[in-house]
Structure 1
């Protein structure tokens, strides 16, 4: 009887151990739902370059099941600030002006911030930002302060351009082609993707609309997963130290192997 009891206990421990190993830890990140080709929502699911990167990493980390939720960018920032989620995918480095987000992951990508203007505002020659935009109405997408390295409405910027905050990149571009605003701040690949979609969906007319084009390259910014200061401080995710290190290692390996570039090229990003 003693031998049978020991055997049953041993089998129970084996089953419990197997179950513990087989059940991955679930973690949720957020990303922008209207920032194609990098992140967007389609049929209720997160899609785009950053979704594919997170999916590839999750598939290679058996201890974790990472879910990426596409939502309004401001909602994602608020959830990081409150500590409700561990991280926000697609963030520029903001340690200097977003006190609620730190640390940051190894870079996923580098984005290029540009100005896009209608042909009646500027011809296709390169313009100097911001001095050659004096008196113009320039759109900026809500929540994307990082496109100018910090606050959009600095004394220097507002001494030249007038700014209008708009809810999404697509709307900002539509306002340029319909001559509602002179120019808008944009990310280079997002501009090309968005303008192509406008043409393909026949929302752009070559006879009545202004043709938008890039007039200034403002800066290049690395893109990260930005983590919640509050969540880490309160130890809401006890596995965070292990996961953050593994994410950095995988991102580093993917960059060295060319995998990050391959994912971008699938979306037409050179």
Structure 2
């Protein structure tokens, strides 16, 4: 009789195991409005909504989207404690980020304060040697900008997020701010 019960229970367990969805946590930059940000304790943004739509019908997975400071998220990816992070911004310097099919969105960058644009500034880095450029902490810079920093042609200053960098730009503490235009203008 014990064997009969075991035979009845096994198919039920196998069925339950086959239908239980695997939980996957996808981390996102917590301070990158309008793409991904925390407001009143809720994770919101264009990328957050997009990923929720993309994963809504993935019945084999329970996808949880969780905010994280950008630099910590990169560290988690690098050491293997995170499965996914968005937006990925894959560069050769981040060889721990795997190839992906398509970017979520093509962003364009750089905003400068009008007061420094009184002279022609079309050649980089030559025309920007006299200014401080604001960047978000942990953001990877283009090889051209990295080279300009290394060779002391330009100075950059990191800050945590768009709001802080925009305040510094408005106060003329920095002259330019490198970040996505949509993210800057919607703040």
TM-score norm. by structure 1 comes to: 0.61
Alignment of 1:38-187 (within 5 A): 38-94=35-91, 96-113=92-109, 115-122=110-117, 127-146=122-141, 148=142, 150=143, 152-155=145-148, 158-187=151-180
Show structure 2 runs of 5+ residues with no match: none
Deviations 1:57-81 (A, max 9, x none): 2211000011111111001011111
CA contact (8 A) 2:148 2:154 kept: no
CA contact (8 A) 1:54 1:66 kept: no
- Of structures 1 and 2, the one scoring higher in RCO (CA 8 A, sep 6+) is 1
Q: Alpha carbons of 1:137 and 1:81: their partners in 2 closer, same or farther (altered >3 Å)?
A: same
TM-score norm. by structure 2 comes to: 0.86
Which one is further off, 40-49 or 132-141? 40-49
Q: Which residue does 2:181 correspond to in 1?
A: 188
Show structure 1 runs of 5+ residues with no match: 195-270
| Aligned residue pair count | 187
SS in 1 for 2:124: coil
Deviations 1:121-145 (A, max 9, x none): 2159874433322211111111111
SS in 2 for 1:165: strand
